[in-house]
């Protein structure tokens, strides 16, 4: 009986999970690049933002164009008693053409404002791209964690099935107790329940990743093994400088401030009048004076005019508009400072998370997991010669399982933190 138990325990040592994930790293990296590429091409949120840019690019030309000229037809001095065009010398058929002309420089400023809006929309698109990249990476790494947890849990399920066999074998020959069998069966049932939950979570994460790529949620995905800890050598000040130079949302606020500055210039132009110039042609019918006198050859009339608006209410209108835009410039500057401070704080928080995760990963990989495996090996050996009870053996295996999964959880958290850092600084770092 003892030889049989020792043989089973020796075989079990071959099934102990190992957290070293080294294979197919290149394939893993290529796969995530492919998913990112698909998302950047097909994500509906990005396509919506791209179409908004197309819309905004059509506006500058409109803003820099003159109002349409006005062509007007009319009658002047038509007698109401006869409605005859040749009876009265002052009766004319009028054609008037007029054109509104803004004060010089206004059209150029309006065009510049519209171009600034295009720039703001483009920076919004760039910021959205980094967000999509981050979301794809986070979803991808989360899916990798779930798959790793499933694999580890399946390996432990095999071990627990063997433990149940050992417990039942020892109990059947009077060398064990029923409590050991029941405990092993309970742990095995817990493992099976964990697998059900992990597989449900796998489906959810696949659906999230597919949605980011504008695919059907249920579309199958092939995820290769090979998650390894990315090297990270950046300093906090270096990342803050990168963010200040590259983060699209900061450039977006800068462009917004510049737009308000241009709008302020346009508001100052409203102190000056706009013009309305026109030409009028009055056609007269030949006829007799008073309808009974000598026949008259009546020449047509030509008229021209220039009109201007007089900004006499400038204290309550134009001046207030200039002040409004001045305050908007100040608001934009403070919005920039606020956004920059928030980004710098976020970088500090993420750097702290990176340091913590890195240290935790090192501790688990180099100390806790080797110790847990040693403990399990020792418990197996002791159990085979009746020096360790079954519950201790079972608890040792459960502890190893927990640390195996915790290692992959920390590895996923670490890579997700780096994805957040890339999005925060607005530049690819890896």
Spatial distance between the Cα atoms of 173 and 125, rounded to a whole number of angstroms: 72
Q: What is the pLDDT of residue 14?
A: 43
Residue 4 structure tokens: 């049989």
Residue 332 structure tokens: 């934009």
Q: What is the pLDDT of residue 13?
A: 47
Do the Cβ atoms of 424 and 347 come closer than 8 Å?
yes
Spatial distance between the Cα atoms of 130 and 136, rounded to a whole number of angstroms: 10
Do the Cβ atoms of 298 and 286 come closer than 8 Å?
yes
Do the Cβ atoms of 268 and 321 come closer than 8 Å?
no
248-269 and 236-246 helices, crossing angle to 10°: 40
Spatial distance between the Cα atoms of 420 and 414, rounded to a whole number of angstroms: 10
Instruction: Provide the pLDDT confidence category of residue 393 given band limits of 50, 70 and 90.
Output: confident
Query: Is the pLDDT at 255 greater than 80, yes or no?
Result: yes
- pTM to 2 decimal places: 0.83
Q: Is 293 exposed, middle or buried (0-12, 13-18, 19+ CB in 10 A)?
A: exposed
Per DSSP, the three-state class of 287 is: strand
Among residues 61, 94, 55, 92, the alpha carbon closest in space to that of 77 is found at: 92
Instruction: Provide the pLDDT confidence category of residue 6 given band limits of 50, 70 and 90.
Output: very low
Spatial distance between the Cα atoms of 36 and 131, rounded to a whole number of angstroms: 11
* Distance in Å from the first CA to the final CA of the chain: 57
Express as a percent the part of the chain with pLDDT over 70.
91
Q: Which residue has the higher pLDDT, 71 or 81?
A: 71
Find the angle CA(373)-CA(376)-CA(378) to the nearest 5 degrees. 110
pLDDT tens per residue across span 237-248 = 999 999 999 999
Q: Where would I find the H helices in 174-225? A: 178-212
Third-level CATH fold of 2-66+102-274+309-425: Outer membrane efflux proteins (OEP) (1.20.1600)
Q: Give the side-chain half-sphere CA count within 13 A for 3.
A: 0
Instruction: Give rounded-to-5 percent helix, strand, coil for the chain.
Output: 65, 10, 25
Query: Is the pLDDT at 81 greater than 90, yes or no?
Result: no
Among residues 45, 60, 38, the alpha carbon closest in space to that of 120 is found at: 60
Domain ranges (residues) in the chain: 2-66+102-274+309-425
**Least trusted range by pLDDT, from 130-139, 244-253, 285-294, 328-337:** 285-294
Residue 404 structure tokens: 């195996």
DSSP state of 231: P
Point out which residues pair with 94 in neighbouring strands.
Answer: 74, 282
Query: Is the pLDDT at 25 greater than 70, yes or no?
Result: no
Residue 416 structure tokens: 């997700």
Per DSSP, the three-state class of 23 is: coil
pLDDT tens per residue across span 90-120 = 888 999 999 999 999 999 999 999 999 999 9
Per DSSP, the three-state class of 99 is: strand
Do the Cβ atoms of 68 and 53 come closer than 8 Å?
no
Mean pLDDT, the chain, rounded, equals: 87
Q: What is the pLDDT of residue 289?
A: 63
pLDDT tens per residue across span 53-66 = 999 999 999 999 99
Spatial distance between the Cα atoms of 155 and 160, rounded to a whole number of angstroms: 9
H or E segment at 279?
A: strand 275-283
Only one residue has tokens 């309550």, namely: 316
Instruction: Provide the pLDDT confidence category of residue 284 given band limits of 50, 70 and 90.
Output: confident
Residues composing the chain: 430
Q: How far is CA 282 from CA 80, 288, 300, 301, 420, in A?
A: 19, 18, 6, 5, 73
């Amino acid at each position: 009986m003892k030889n049989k138990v020792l043989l089973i325990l020796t075989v079990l040592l071959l099934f102990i999970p190992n957290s070293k994930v080294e294979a197919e790293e290149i394939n893993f990296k290529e796969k995530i690049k492919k998913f990112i590429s698909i998302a950047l091409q097909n994500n509906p949120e990005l396509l919506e933002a791209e179409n908004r840019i197309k819309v905004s690019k059509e506006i500058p030309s409109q803003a820099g164009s003159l109002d349409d000229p006005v062509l007007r037809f009319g009658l002047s001095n038509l007698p109401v008693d006869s409605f005859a065009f040749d009876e009265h010398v002052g009766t004319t058929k009028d054609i008037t053409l007029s054109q509104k002309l803004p004060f010089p420089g206004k059209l150029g400023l309006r065009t510049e404002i519209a171009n600034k809006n295009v720039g703001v929309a483009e920076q919004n698109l760039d910021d959205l791209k980094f967000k999509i990249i981050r979301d794809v990476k986070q979803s991808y790494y989360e899916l990798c964690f779930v798959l790793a947890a499933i694999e580890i849990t399946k390996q432990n399920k095999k071990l627990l099935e063997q433990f149940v066999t050992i417990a039942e074998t020892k109990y059947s020959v009077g060398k064990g107790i029923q409590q050991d069998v029941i405990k092993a069966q309970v742990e095995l049932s817990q493992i099976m329940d964990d697998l059900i939950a992990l597989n449900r979570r796998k489906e959810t994460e696949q659906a999230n990743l597919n949605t980011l790529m504008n695919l059907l949620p249920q579309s199958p995905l092939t995820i290769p093994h090979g998650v390894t800890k990315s090297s990270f050598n950046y300093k906090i000040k270096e990342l803050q400088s990168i963010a200040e130079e590259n983060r699209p949302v900061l450039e977006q606020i800068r462009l917004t401030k510049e737009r308000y500055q241009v709008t302020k210039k346009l508001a100052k132009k409203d102190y000056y009048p706009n013009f309305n110039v026109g030409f009028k042609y009055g056609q007269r019918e030949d006829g007799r004076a008073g309808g009974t006198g000598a026949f008259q050859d009546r020449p047509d009339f030509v008229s021209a005019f220039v009109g201007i608006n007089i900004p006499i209410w400038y204290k309550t209108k134009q001046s207030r508009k200039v002040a409004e835009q001045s305050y908007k410039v100040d608001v934009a500057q403070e919005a920039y400072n606020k956004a920059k401070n928030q980004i710098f704080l976020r970088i500090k928080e993420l750097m702290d998370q990176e340091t913590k995760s890195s240290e935790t990963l090192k501790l688990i990989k180099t100390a806790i997991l080797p110790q847990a495996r040693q403990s399990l090996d020792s418990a197996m050996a002791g159990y085979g010669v009746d020096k360790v009870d079954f519950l201790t053996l079972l608890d040792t295996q459960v502890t190893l399982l927990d640390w195996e999964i915790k290692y992959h959880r920390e590895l996923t958290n670490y890579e997700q933190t780096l994805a957040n850092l890339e999005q925060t600084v607005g530049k690819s770092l890896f």
